Amino acid sequence: MADSNITKRALATSLKELMLEQPFDKINVAQICARCNMNRKSFYYHFKDKYDLVNWIFDTEFIALMKDENLDANYPNYKERWVFIEKICGYFYENHAFYRKALQIKGQNSFSDHFREYIRPLLADRISHLLGQEQPDEFIMEFFTDAVLCAMERWLLNKECMPPEQFLAKIKVIMEDGAQSICREMAQTEQASS
């Protein structure tokens, strides 16, 4: 197993280096293998294609980041959950060059699709808690998943990606000021109708 991970990590490092030099669609398996002195057979033993390798990089690194995270125990309230989200955004910011290119991959097996599949259950859990529903309906899930993905993609695809603290400060203003404004309007409507 250790040898398998060494091989996978070497291939991942090779792909990351190549992605800094050229567009993803110009990279082929032969280049990835040549960069780390491996043969194509080794690559295909571990991965279906280069898209699978991109997704493996995310899974491995992100799961390592999330491994010891227990959301309810470590981040039990609203303020502390922002610390958790900042940690996630910090990871993406540190790896901005890679994810900027990964998010540009289109079509079948794209990283965007893989990322959507990964974050959807995390969002479902949080939305269920916030709305007091066992399972949010499909429309609600698609709405929030699209919102999170669009915001993350727009942030990461910008070559001059703002620091995560600044990005999250803007998100917090939208969410908190928006929620307060809606509550004020609802209270005014109730007072007017009384």
Specify whether 84 is located in the same domain as 160: yes
Specify whether 10 is located in the same domain as 73: no
More confident residue, 132 or 149: 149
Q: For the chain, what is the total number of helices (H) and then of strands (E)?
A: 11, 0
Specify whether 127 is located in the same domain as 157: yes
> Which residue do the tokens 């293998």 mark?
33
Specify whether 28 is located in the same domain as 95: no
Specify whether 90 is located in the same domain as 138: yes
Specify whether 92 is located in the same domain as 183: yes
Query: How many domains is the chain built from?
Result: 2
Specify whether 95 is located in the same domain as 172: yes
Specify whether 58 is located in the same domain as 143: yes
Specify whether 20 is located in the same domain as 74: no
- pLDDT tens-digit readout, 103-146: 999 888 899 999 999 888 888 887 887 788 788 889 988 998 99
Query: For residues 38 and 129, what is the distance between their CA atoms, to the nearest angstrom?
Result: 48
Supply the range of the domain harboring residue 69.
Answer: 49-193
Query: For residues 141 and 121, what is the distance between their CA atoms, to the nearest angstrom?
Result: 9
Specify whether 24 is located in the same domain as 84: no
- pLDDT tens-digit readout, 73-89: 555 677 777 888 888 89
CATH number at residue 7: 1.10.10
Kindly report the pTM of this predicted structure: 0.83
Query: For residues 112 and 90, what is the distance between their CA atoms, to the nearest angstrom?
Result: 19
Specify whether 154 is located in the same domain as 187: yes
Q: Judge whether 110 and 25 are in contact, CB under 8 Å.
A: no
Q: Judge whether 116 and 149 are in contact, CB under 8 Å.
A: yes
Query: For residues 70 and 54, what is the distance between their CA atoms, to the nearest angstrom?
Result: 26
Specify whether 64 is located in the same domain as 37: no
